[in-house]
Amino acid sequence: MAPIKVTKICCIGAGYVGGPTCAVIALRCPHITVTIVDLNQDRVDAWNSEDFKLPIYEPGLEDVVRQARGRNLFFSTDVDKGIKEADLIFVSVNTPTKKTGVGAGFGADLHYVELATRRIAAVADSSKIVVEKSTVPCRTAESMRTILEANSKNHCRFDILSNPEFLAEGTAISDLFKPDRVLIGSLQTEEGLEACRALADVYANWVPQERILTVGLWSSELSKLAANAMLAQRISSINALSAICEATGANIDEVAHAVGCDSRVGPKFLKASVGFGGSCFQKDILNLVYLSESLHLPEVAAYWRQVVEMNEYQKRRFSKRVVDTLFNTITGKRIAVLGFAFKADTGDTRESASITLIRDFVAERANVHVYDPKVEEEQIWMDLTEAMPQLPAETIKKQVTLCSSALEACKDAEAVVIATEWKEFTLIDWETVYANMKKPAFVFDGRLLVDAKKLKEIGFKVTVIGRGNGL
282 is in an annotated binding site: yes
165 is in an annotated binding site: yes
271 is in an annotated binding site: yes
15 is in an annotated binding site: yes
202 is in an annotated binding site: no
325 is in an annotated binding site: no
167 is in an annotated binding site: yes
170 is in an annotated binding site: no
Asked if the peptide bond before residue 440 counts as cis, ω within 30 degrees of 0, the response is yes
- SS3 for 50? coil
User: How many C-beta atoms lie closer than 10 Å to residue 189's C-beta?
Assistant: 10
C-alpha pair distances (Å), 388 with each of 274, 279, 282, 379, 439: 20, 20, 20, 14, 31
Q: Are 222 and 135 in contact (CB under 8 A)?
A: no
Please state whether 236 falls in left (phi above 0), alpha (psi between -120 and 50) or beta: alpha
d(CA 98, CA 334): 36
94 is in an annotated binding site: yes
Query: Running DSSP on this structure, what letter comes out for residue 169?
Result: T
**Dmax of the chain from CA atoms?**
77
Q: Which one of 11, 29, 280, 410 is the catalytic residue?
A: 280
272 is in an annotated binding site: yes
16 is in an annotated binding site: yes
Q: Are 277 and 350 in contact (CB under 8 A)?
A: yes
106 is in an annotated binding site: no
68 is in an annotated binding site: no
280 is a catalytic site residue: yes
77 is in an annotated binding site: no
Residues 6+ apart with CB under 8 A from 275: 239, 311, 312, 314, 315, 318, 353, 356
Chain-centroid distance of CA 239 in Å reads 19
95 is in an annotated binding site: yes
d(CA 447, CA 434): 20
d(CA 386, CA 378): 12
466 is in an annotated binding site: no
Burial of 319 (0-12, 13-18, 19+ CB in 10 A): buried
463 is in an annotated binding site: no
Q: Are 167 and 279 in contact (CB under 8 A)?
A: no
225 is in an annotated binding site: yes
Chain-centroid distance of CA 311 in Å reads 15
**How does strand 182-186 pair with strand 88-91?**
unpaired
164 is in an annotated binding site: no
166 is in an annotated binding site: yes
**How does strand 334-338 pair with strand 158-162?**
unpaired
Residues 6+ apart with CB under 8 A from 429: 407
327 is in an annotated binding site: no
Task: Show the beta-strand stretches assigned E in 346-414.
Answer: 367-371, 400-402
74 is in an annotated binding site: no
What's the start-to-end Cα distance of the chain, in Å? Answer: 70
281 is in an annotated binding site: yes
Chain-centroid distance of CA 127 in Å reads 33
153 is in an annotated binding site: no
71 is in an annotated binding site: no
Query: Running DSSP on this structure, what letter comes out for residue 263?
Result: T
Angle between helix 377-387 and 353-363 (nearest 10) = 60
Binding residues for substrate, as ranges, are: 165-169, 224-228, 264, 271-277, 342-343, 447
Active site residues: 280
Binding residues, as ranges, are: 13-18, 38, 43, 93-97, 134-135, 165-169, 224-228, 264, 271-277, 280-283, 342-343, 350, 447
Binding residues for NAD(+), as ranges, are: 13-18, 38, 43, 93-97, 134-135, 169, 280-283, 350
